Structure 1
Amino acid sequence: MVVARFEGWSKQGVFRSFSDMTGDERLLQIVKGQLEKEPCSIQWGVQASSHSYLSLLRRCIDKKDLVTGKQVQTHMIQTGFKPSLYLANTLLLMYVKCGTLVEARKVFDQLCKRDMFTWTTMLAGYSSNGEFLETFNLYEQMLSQGVTLDRIIYTRVVNACTSLRSLEKGKKVHANIIRSRIRSDTILDNALIDMYAKCGSIKHACQVFDNMAERNVVTWNVMIAGLAQHKCGKEAFELFLQMQREGMMPDKVTLLSILNASASPEGLEQGKLVHSYIIQAGHELSDTHVNNALVSMYAKCGSVESARQVFDQMPNRNVVSWNAMIGGYAAHGQCEEAFGIFNQMHHQGVKPDIITFLNIVKSCCSPKALEQGKWVHAEIMKAGFEFDVRIQTALVRMYSKCGSIEDAWQVFNRMRTRNVISWTAMIEGYVEHGLYEEALGVFRQMQQEPVKPDRILFTCIVNACTSPVALEQGKQVHAYITSCGFESDVHVGPVLITMYAQCGSIKEARQVFDKLRNRNVVAWTAMISAYAEHDLHDEAFQVFHQMQQELVEPNRVTYISILNACTSPASLKQGMQVHAQITDAGFGSDVNLRNALITMYMKCGSISAARHVFDDMQSRDVVSWNAIIGGYAQHGYGEDALNLYRQMKGEGLVDEGHQHFSSMDQDYKVMPTLDHYCCMVDLLGRTACLQEAEDFIQRMPFEPDASIWSPLLGACHRYGKVEVVEHVADWTLKLDSQDAAVYVLLSNMYAAAGMWENVEKVRYLMKDRGVKKGGGCSWIRTENKSHEFVAEDREIDTLLNK
């Protein structure tokens, strides 16, 4: 029995007398009265039972009334009340529900005895309030004290590991789940898949997925999202199809995940298929989120036109829609289009947010966009975002790329706070403008600030020390990098190697290379390139072979670097071996590699091999032409060099011809006729683009006839392409097997190539098919009259049989 003494109870707001209250209500008033130290003159006997305290605490839980809850606990302490475990758990739950984890933990730690509800409540409190490390620590305490864990607890702990991005902790929890032989369920398995995917092990996520007895739509969504996160777009799409085959219909989350998985240039075709599915499912016209994902997907796939089509057809747009479209144009350097959307957004009364301004600032990336960039800067100031560190950093980059490094410095200098990204942007701007001393000055200033540098910043500043006169500065930067623990970083190490090589210190470049604990392909390539640039060709090949022995796959840049080490006839054999490796690796069609091969063969004296590589190229750039023309000129083949120069100019006309041909339909809505196609084939043939001409014919919207193939046959004869003329002749003779000109052209080409057996075969085929060449004729004009001389067929046969 607890007796409360009152001097008087007349506080305003009490609507009934104390005697009319229930026991719980009396206790509540007494609790508040005692804590507020109100005067008492009347004695009221109130039975403070567990039931009364429970009622009060439950009321506090429902209303999240932390103040009263604390008063109840204080009343229990002051009156010496010893709560039961059930009451103590309710008190613990009250603190957890009110978000006061410190007080909750005090209650938890003071309990001599705990049951499953105690542990679960405390664990749930930590996980629900984002205290994930404390969640995991409490889980380990439960294990150490032999508490039996259920699926709900394991799910919470797995989710905590996900939030901590701790693969190691997640694996430990999974191992305990397996050892405990607890029957897993879909919710726990889904949590494990999500944990493995987000913690970096998509392999383990797939294993959990494959072993699941039952899957729901969340399972598929989590797995597809995980594959998307790991850039496994093809696998995600296969899962999307499998999901439907197994009778599970995708929901909105599935569609958003698969569109994200398709958001890369190589995912465009599957993105289009997903778009078709969305249209069939009826999502496109109604769901803004799905439409936004479509716009973003097409933009990231490089198809900005498709993104714009989706955007224009959207019935409802939010700021995310506008940001996606502006960001798509910005990412592809289409400044004017980005500004067009930005202005349209303004006219429609949509208020830009920080992302809008970040995207539109990004679109200003060349000197001609400087004025637009300044206008955007003014708009940012009007919107009140001027001092946002992200915006200011973007402005520093914008002014640098637009050529105004002074404006970039002014923005940087006015920044109230700077993070490592801000410092990197300013240093990068100075380096891009060749202002290396200024870049080093900013770097020294940064060292006086409490800024933790990262690998990107170090990469930028090392690039400011790339000449022999900057060697000492480079060593100082290197020393600072070492003190920060980045010397062995796989990203910083290769840049240091390149820096020392460009400063002329190949010995120190090798020392950096030898200290790298984990060498990736970039590090190996940097060392090979360093040796090649210093004409240490044997050393370059030694590193190249060592790289392959350690099972590191060379990339395109590696092959280009090692080809630069083949500079004389003595290294021709090595160059040919590298050429074979390039082909085996599937890089044979890469333009940059083929350019390097042409240069290598020319330096090694094999002009025929260089020409073969050149002629076999599907597409060429100016470097290709420079390499082959320069090679011929250096070897004294001036006429060949001039002929190639003329051919190069002709291919320029081909590009112009393509533009005019395309504009007929696109700009003037005039459908090209057969004559137009004939002109294009003739243009391609005259400039030796024989394969392109054949492909062009195959893509025609109507069946080709002999008039199309004839100019290509003539071009094949002109350039001596026997293997091509055979293929084209086959197509032509299918249309007209009696076309004698084709047989004669084939015979002449075989004869010019010394393929006499083939000449006999053509002649036999003509006789077998009864093909006769019409008589040749000549004209002579005398006394204003033309005289025609016709050779008889038998005379032609005699000539052919000679």
Structure 2
Amino acid sequence: MTQYMPLFRSCSNLRSVSQLHAHLLVTGRLRRDLLPVTKLIESYAFMGSPDSSRLVFEAFPYPDSFMYGVLIKCNVWCHLLDAAIDLYHKLVLEKTQISKFVFPSVLRACAGSKDHLSVGRKVHGRIIKSGVNEDDVIETSLLSMYGQTGNLSDAEKVFDGMHVRDLVAWSTLVSICLENGEVVEALRMFKCMVDDGVEPDAVTMISVVEGCAELGCLRIAKSVHGQITRKVFEFDETLSNSLLTMYSKCGDLFSSERIFEKIVKKNAVSWTAMISSYNRGEFFEKALRSFSEMLKFGIEPNLVTLYSVLSSCGLVGLIREGKSVHGFAVRRELDPKYESLSPALVELYAECGRLSDSETVLRAVGDRNIVSWNSLISLYAHRGMVIEALCLFREMVRRRIKPDSFTLASTISACEKTDLVQLGKQIHGHVIRTDVLDEFVQNSMIDMYSKGGFVDSACTVFDQIKHKSVVTWNSMLCGFSQNGNSLEAINLFDYMYHSFLQMNEVTFLAVIQACSNIGSLEKGKWIHHKLIVCGLNDLFTDTALIDMYAKCGDLNSAETIFRGMSSRSIVSWSSMINAYGMHGRIGSALSTFNQMVESGTKPNEVVFMNVLSACGHSGSVEEGKYYFNLIKSFGILPNSEHFACFIDLLSRYGDLEEAYRTIKEMPFLSDATIWGSLVSGCRIHRRMDIIKAMKNDLSDIVTDDTGYYTLLSNVYAEEGEWEEFRRTRSTMKSSNLRKVPGYSAIEIDKKVFRFGAGEEPCFQTGEIYRFLGNFKNLTLEADYLQINE
């Protein structure tokens, strides 16, 4: 056989292998010698012809276990995993004794898919029965098989049972922990490896550095960097680039720049890593300057480089520079079919307002890159361009481009408005028919139904999800809170808490909002305590707590939280101003506003709304006029809500002529809310003359606000204007509008109970009415005694 080895090594293509095959057939060596046969099987597989390998194997009269192993290995090389596993099953049926050489290749085939895990477990059993389970190569293969199929616990069991834990075994375990998203566990295993006296190599350190980058913890990142420096690893480009990326993901751009400067031979990967780091830190101008320097040094950019640079141009809005990079790619023919750069080009032109160019790129891509379609649909949805997003989705379906979960989630998000939920239901049906029902899509459907007011439909989707993540629970919690189902939100939170389910800041924000909606102070305090215990309180949750305590009547607790905040956002200031306002503390509200301005925080539209609302609660008309006129000095144009709040203040406290004049001078058409404030003021101050003066204005208003029509009809009834009363009521009836009944809520023994007019008897209703009857009798007796005295 040794005489043929140089011939096999000289085979450089399929034709030369075929010629050698013919020569071996003529000499008869393929009928009696095992080694030339196995070498020929390997050569065909290496040249990309697994069918020829199989034919050679089948032509041999009595293949042994070793030859089976060679063909199995060749099938794995060619990614024919099912064929490799079928061959193994055939071997098991034919041979009682299996060479240990077979097992590593079979395990690699099983590692290629989670569907093959059951086969892998059976192979593991046969390995134990064969007594070869202590072989180093087989043990490492078992470790990889369990890790790559997502069974980290089984992989760790194999690792714990290994008689020799060398560098390969430890590195494999670290890698599979990272592949399964268990970054903390991977770093823990690395520490155990070092403590066990096993010296890591550069390949291991690259994996550990990538793990630190995913974790984003700067302290651990520096510790790993120190380990690399102490062990005096050779800082090749790959390790340096990994460190550079690690520091940028940990938010230390300065360290990234230092490592970049130390790289002697900077290649395209090094420059691209630095450009990506600048993008990640939102230093887009620096990213573009780095790209220019890269070209000056004669380094040829790759597709990843261009993708990063196009992203920089899009985020800064530099259309001219972006088109220049686009032209560079076209001239160099780096991506002639737009298969790699199309998503970045679509986003570039869309971010720069060139939507027609985005769609032109999309048409050029066709069905070759669904990511580009997804990018534009998502961008349309986020910008509120709902029709455009839905039209693009329809065109995808028409072109027979199969939407993925990201496509469907973005399209469903575009249907969140009430009048588009029916379209969302149709997409829901499409999802069910095409069976693309993953958690990402289901969460989008919960959000869509919730924001459209269809909470029951959101609950149906929620109940159908078997394995719910914290995002799913949060979506349903927010859906309940946003639709006034606060008790349901609190009950859902209680279930999560008592079931020891994962919670995050969003979970607490949603349930705090629910407590705010119904004024449940005791429950809010309990949740505040759990928030502190879980260590999840931050700027956002503290701001939500301020609002909750204020709405539940505990202004002191709201003040305590506000004073204890280490940093305050504009939302925090706004919430505290609103808290003082709703409690009638106009002096404290205006003082907080002044403190905010002095701290360098510029007020926005919401802050001024809260200041005007505070003036309205306390009847401070002059202060209201001052702050309404102050809005423009901060570069803010008063919107309809500011005008509505200001007119409500003037109307409520009798300055009706000023309110009417303000409405007439508004830069946009006034709606039912604004006119309703003036009508309410006229009713309070008995100014029917003003109502008559604005009769034509009132008759032109078309709205679905039942409160406005109810108010107006009551005013007409009180003044005896029965014709106008009937006309207003007729308008409500023809529009199918009904007044939403109000309700009261009371908290007893840490439980909140709701009472509404016309509702069915509820908790202790009989006792309540008996108490009210007794209270009425006592009141009448007191009045009688007072009259007689």
Task: Determine the C-alpha separation between the residues in 1 that align with 2:287 and 2:596.
Answer: 36
Following superposition, the deviation at residue 198 of structure 1 comes to 2.6
Task: Tell me, yes or no, if structure 1 residue 294 matches structure 2 residue 240.
Answer: no
- The one-character-per-residue Cα deviations of 1:454-486 (angstroms, maximum 9, x if unpaired) are 211111000110111112211111111111113
Is the contact made by 2:484 and 2:517 (CA closer than 8 Å) also made in structure 1? no
**AA aligned opposite 2:80:** E
**In structure 1, the residue corresponding to 2:33 is in which secondary structure?**
helix
**TM value normalised by structure 1:** 0.69
**Shift in CA distance, 128/653, structure 1 to aligned 2, threshold 3 Å:** closer
Give the match for residue 42 of structure 2: 96
**Shift in CA distance, 128/485, structure 1 to aligned 2, threshold 3 Å:** closer
- The one-character-per-residue Cα deviations of 1:356-398 (angstroms, maximum 9, x if unpaired) are 1111122234353333322222222222225331201221122
**Shift in CA distance, 626/330, structure 1 to aligned 2, threshold 3 Å:** same
Task: Determine the C-alpha separation between the residues in 1 that align with 2:193 and 2:464.
Answer: 49
Following superposition, the deviation at residue 229 of structure 1 comes to 3.0
Please give the residue correspondences for 1:747-758 in structure 2 after superposition, counting only pairs within 5 Å: none
Task: Tell me, yes or no, if structure 1 residue 618 matches structure 2 residue 569.
Answer: no
Is the contact made by 1:335 and 1:369 (CA closer than 8 Å) also made in structure 2? no
Give the match for residue 218 of structure 2: 268
Aligned partner (choices 631, 647, 653) of residue 579 of structure 2: 631
Task: Determine the C-alpha separation between the residues in 2 that align with 1:144 and 1:594.
Answer: 67
Please give the residue correspondences for 1:309-458 in structure 2 after superposition, counting only pairs within 5 Å: 309-366=258-315, 368-384=317-333, 385-458=335-408
258-267 vs 645-654, which moves further = 645-654
**Shift in CA distance, 233/524, structure 1 to aligned 2, threshold 3 Å:** closer
**AA aligned opposite 1:633:** G
Give the match for residue 736 of structure 2: none
**AA aligned opposite 1:440:** L
Task: Determine the C-alpha separation between the residues in 2 that align with 1:264 and 1:289.
Answer: 17
Following superposition, the deviation at residue 110 of structure 1 comes to 5.0
Following superposition, the deviation at residue 535 of structure 1 comes to 1.0
Task: Determine the C-alpha separation between the residues in 1 that align with 2:175 and 2:195.
Answer: 19
Please give the residue correspondences for 1:476-515 in structure 2 after superposition, counting only pairs within 5 Å: 476-487=426-437, 489-515=438-464
**AA aligned opposite 2:225:** H
Following superposition, the deviation at residue 626 of structure 1 comes to 0.8
Structure 1 residue runs of 5 or longer lacking an equivalent are 1-53, 655-802
**AA aligned opposite 1:596:** A
Task: Determine the C-alpha separation between the residues in 2 that align with 1:229 and 1:570.
Answer: 47
Is the contact made by 1:275 and 1:294 (CA closer than 8 Å) also made in structure 2? yes
**Shift in CA distance, 549/146, structure 1 to aligned 2, threshold 3 Å:** farther
Task: Determine the C-alpha separation between the residues in 2 that align with 1:251 and 1:498.
Answer: 48
Task: Tell me, yes or no, if structure 1 residue 68 matches structure 2 residue 37.
Answer: no
Please give the residue correspondences for 1:746-785 in structure 2 after superposition, counting only pairs within 5 Å: none
Task: Determine the C-alpha separation between the residues in 2 that align with 1:236 and 1:636.
Answer: 56
Following superposition, the deviation at residue 496 of structure 1 comes to 0.6
**Shift in CA distance, 202/268, structure 1 to aligned 2, threshold 3 Å:** farther
Is the contact made by 2:24 and 2:30 (CA closer than 8 Å) also made in structure 1? no
Give the match for residue 32 of structure 2: 86
Task: Tell me, yes or no, if structure 1 residue 279 matches structure 2 residue 229.
Answer: yes
Following superposition, the deviation at residue 59 of structure 1 comes to 7.1
Task: Determine the C-alpha separation between the residues in 2 that align with 1:506 and 1:60.
Answer: 74
Following superposition, the deviation at residue 342 of structure 1 comes to 0.5
Task: Determine the C-alpha separation between the residues in 2 that align with 1:329 and 1:176.
Answer: 53
Aligned partner (choices 109, 125, 148) of residue 198 of structure 1: 148
Task: Tell me, yes or no, if structure 1 residue 236 matches structure 2 residue 182.
Answer: no
**Shift in CA distance, 516/236, structure 1 to aligned 2, threshold 3 Å:** closer
Following superposition, the deviation at residue 607 of structure 1 comes to 0.8
- The one-character-per-residue Cα deviations of 1:522-551 (angstroms, maximum 9, x if unpaired) are 222222211211112222223333444554
**Shift in CA distance, 587/72, structure 1 to aligned 2, threshold 3 Å:** same
- The one-character-per-residue Cα deviations of 1:397-426 (angstroms, maximum 9, x if unpaired) are 222234433332222123254332122112
Give the match for residue 120 of structure 1: 69
Is the contact made by 1:389 and 1:417 (CA closer than 8 Å) also made in structure 2? no
Give the match for residue 422 of structure 2: 472
Task: Determine the C-alpha separation between the residues in 2 that align with 1:653 and 1:566.
Answer: 29
Please give the residue correspondences for 1:634-645 in structure 2 after superposition, counting only pairs within 5 Å: 634-645=582-593
**AA aligned opposite 1:468:** T
Give the match for residue 209 of structure 1: 159
- The one-character-per-residue Cα deviations of 1:574-594 (angstroms, maximum 9, x if unpaired) are 222222221222213x11111
Task: Determine the C-alpha separation between the residues in 2 that align with 1:170 and 1:328.
Answer: 41
Give the match for residue 152 of structure 1: 101
Is the contact made by 2:260 and 2:270 (CA closer than 8 Å) also made in structure 1? yes
**In structure 2, the residue corresponding to 1:598 is in which secondary structure?**
helix
Give the match for residue 139 of structure 1: 88
**AA aligned opposite 2:244:** V
Task: Tell me, yes or no, if structure 1 residue 564 matches structure 2 residue 513.
Answer: yes
Is the contact made by 1:60 and 1:68 (CA closer than 8 Å) also made in structure 2? no
Give the number of aligned pairs.
Answer: 593
Is the contact made by 2:346 and 2:375 (CA closer than 8 Å) also made in structure 1? yes
Task: Determine the C-alpha separation between the residues in 1 that align with 2:493 and 2:164.
Answer: 50
Task: Tell me, yes or no, if structure 1 residue 177 matches structure 2 residue 127.
Answer: yes
Task: Determine the C-alpha separation between the residues in 1 that align with 2:145 and 2:3.
Answer: 40
Task: Determine the C-alpha separation between the residues in 1 that align with 2:517 and 2:70.
Answer: 77
**TM value normalised by structure 2:** 0.70
Give the match for residue 529 of structure 2: 580
Over the aligned positions, Cα root-mean-square deviation in angstroms equals 2.7
Following superposition, the deviation at residue 84 of structure 1 comes to 8.1
Give the match for residue 252 of structure 2: 303
Following superposition, the deviation at residue 74 of structure 1 comes to 6.4
Is the contact made by 1:85 and 1:114 (CA closer than 8 Å) also made in structure 2? no
**Shift in CA distance, 235/541, structure 1 to aligned 2, threshold 3 Å:** closer
Give the match for residue 608 of structure 1: 556
**AA aligned opposite 1:68:** Q
**AA aligned opposite 2:57:** F
Following superposition, the deviation at residue 333 of structure 1 comes to 2.0
Is the contact made by 2:143 and 2:155 (CA closer than 8 Å) also made in structure 1? yes
Following superposition, the deviation at residue 138 of structure 1 comes to 1.4
Task: Determine the C-alpha separation between the residues in 1 that align with 2:341 and 2:290.
Answer: 20
Aligned partner (choices 151, 156, 171) of residue 221 of structure 1: 171
**AA aligned opposite 1:421:** V
**In structure 1, the residue corresponding to 2:317 is in which secondary structure?**
helix
**Shift in CA distance, 303/402, structure 1 to aligned 2, threshold 3 Å:** farther
Task: Determine the C-alpha separation between the residues in 1 that align with 2:152 and 2:593.
Answer: 53
Is the contact made by 2:486 and 2:517 (CA closer than 8 Å) also made in structure 1? no
**Shift in CA distance, 111/532, structure 1 to aligned 2, threshold 3 Å:** same
Task: Determine the C-alpha separation between the residues in 1 that align with 2:33 and 2:601.
Answer: 90
Task: Determine the C-alpha separation between the residues in 2 that align with 1:533 and 1:211.
Answer: 53
Is the contact made by 2:133 and 2:139 (CA closer than 8 Å) also made in structure 1? no
Task: Determine the C-alpha separation between the residues in 2 that align with 1:405 and 1:172.
Answer: 56
Is the contact made by 2:284 and 2:316 (CA closer than 8 Å) also made in structure 1? no
Task: Determine the C-alpha separation between the residues in 2 that align with 1:397 and 1:169.
Answer: 45
Task: Tell me, yes or no, if structure 1 residue 105 matches structure 2 residue 54.
Answer: yes
Following superposition, the deviation at residue 308 of structure 1 comes to 0.7
Task: Determine the C-alpha separation between the residues in 2 that align with 1:241 and 1:112.
Answer: 53
Give the match for residue 799 of structure 1: none
Is the contact made by 2:81 and 2:110 (CA closer than 8 Å) also made in structure 1? yes
Structure 2 residue runs of 5 or longer lacking an equivalent are 603-789
